[in-house]
Structure 1
Amino acid sequence: MTTHRELETAGKDVTGMLRTAGLRPTRQRVSLAELLYSKGDRHISAELLHEEAVGADVPVSLATVYNTLHQFTEAGLLREVAIDGNKTYFDTNVSDHHHFFIEGENRVIDIPGEGVGIGKLPEAPEGMEVVRVDVVVRVREKL
C-alpha cells in the first residue's frame, strides 16, 4: 500500500503518482486521476466523477469509473467513506481524519484527525488487528 508521504512526493504528476502506487498509467486511469486530483482534496461519488468525465469528453463507462476508484483505493490513493449502506464517497485525502456527513445536501467534509477522541476499543478477534477507525458524524441544519 502506498503511504501518504509517497503520494506527496509524487506531487500532482498523476502518471508518476499511479506508477508510485503500482498502477499502470492507462489513458482512462490518467484522465480520471486528473479529474480527481485537479481540484485539491475532495469527496466524490462514482456517479459524480462519471458526470465530470463525460463533461470533459473522457470516454469512460460508469462501471470503469467504479473499478478505477476501487483500484485507486486498494493502492492507497483514495479512502472509501461509506455513508449508511448504500452511499459511498471516495476521499482524495488519505491522511488520518474523520468526516461530517451533511444530511439534505449529501455532502461530506473532513474533521481533522485530532477533532475526534476515540475511547476504549474492543479487542479485535483472534488473529486480527484494528487497522483504522472511521467516524462519520451526521449533521443537518438546525430547524
Structure 2
Amino acid sequence: MRELDEELAESGVEIRHKLQSAGLRPTRQRVALAELLFAQGDRHLAAEDLHGEALASGVPVSLATVYNTLHQFTDAGMLRILSVEGSRTYFDTNTSDHHHFYVEEDGEVIDVPVSSLSVQNLPEPPEGMEVANIDVVIRLRRKR
C-alpha cells in the first residue's frame, strides 16, 4: 500500500511539472483531470468520457470545466483534437502526426500504425499558407 501511495505522489509531481512546462497553473482540478488523461498511455477520449471517469474517481467537476480544461490542454500542446463525427469531438493524448481508424458502431478511435499509410499528391496550399497537419480517419464497420 505504501508503494502505491509513493507511486501516486510521484505521478502527481510529474503531472504538475508537465502542466507548468506547458504554461498552465497546476490547479487541483487540472491535476486530477491530467492524471486521469495521461496515466494510461495514449488515449482518445470525449469530454463526456473524461467527465464520467472523473466523477467515478471522486473528482467533483462539472462537464463545462472538463471541456474548458481539455481545450486549455489542447491550446498548450498537450492534446490534439480529433473530429470524427459531427456531434462528438475526441481528444488524443498522442500529439504526434498520425492517423486513425474509427469504429462507427462503438464510437471507438484506434491509432493507425505510422508506417501503414502515406499521403501523396497533395494540392498546393493557397498563397501564404502551409500544410500544418493531415488527419486521415478511416471509418470501419463490422462485416455483415
If the length of structure 1 is used for normalisation, what is the TM-score? 0.88
Task: State the Cα RMSD in Å.
Answer: 1.4
For residues 77-114 of structure 1, what are the alpha-carbon distances to aligned partners after superposition, in whole Å with 9 as ceiling and x for unaligned? 11111013221111111112100000101000000222
Q: Secondary structure of 2:16's match? A: helix
For residues 108-142 of structure 1, what are the alpha-carbon distances to aligned partners after superposition, in whole Å with 9 as ceiling and x for unaligned? 00002221110111111222111000000000111
Determine which structure has more spread, i.e. the larger CA radius of gyration: 2
Which residue of 1 is the match for residue 33 of structure 2?
Answer: 32
Does residue 75 in structure 1 map to residue 73 in structure 2? Answer: no
* Separation in structure 2 between the aligned mates of residue 120 and residue 86 of structure 1, nearest angstrom: 31
After superposing on structure 2, the runs of 4+ consecutive aligned residues of structure 1 that deviate more than 6 Å are none
User: Alpha-carbon deviation of 1:18?
Assistant: 0.6
Q: Which amino acid aligns with 1:20?
A: S
User: Alpha-carbon deviation of 1:14?
Assistant: 0.7
For residues 46-70 of structure 1, what are the alpha-carbon distances to aligned partners after superposition, in whole Å with 9 as ceiling and x for unaligned? 0010001111111111011001111
Higher mean displacement: 95-104 or 112-121: 112-121
Q: Which runs of 5+ in 2 are unaligned?
A: 1-10
* Separation in structure 2 between the aligned mates of residue 50 and residue 30 of structure 1, nearest angstrom: 14
If the length of structure 2 is used for normalisation, what is the TM-score? 0.88
Q: How does 1:31-70 map to 2 (within 5 A)?
A: 31-70=32-71
* Separation in structure 2 between the aligned mates of residue 21 and residue 122 of structure 1, nearest angstrom: 34
* Separation in structure 2 between the aligned mates of residue 122 and residue 97 of structure 1, nearest angstrom: 20
Which residue of 2 is the match for residue 23 of structure 1?
Answer: 24
Q: Which runs of 5+ in 1 are unaligned?
A: 1-10
* Separation in structure 1 between the aligned mates of residue 32 and residue 83 of structure 2, nearest angstrom: 24
- Matched residue count: 133
Which residue of 1 is the match for residue 6 of structure 2?
Answer: none
* Separation in structure 1 between the aligned mates of residue 80 and residue 70 of structure 2, nearest angstrom: 9
Identity, % of aligned pairs? 59
* Separation in structure 2 between the aligned mates of residue 114 and residue 73 of structure 1, nearest angstrom: 25
Does residue 140 in structure 1 map to residue 141 in structure 2? Answer: yes
Q: Secondary structure of 1:68's match? A: helix
For residues 8-38 of structure 1, what are the alpha-carbon distances to aligned partners after superposition, in whole Å with 9 as ceiling and x for unaligned? xxx9811111111111111110000000011
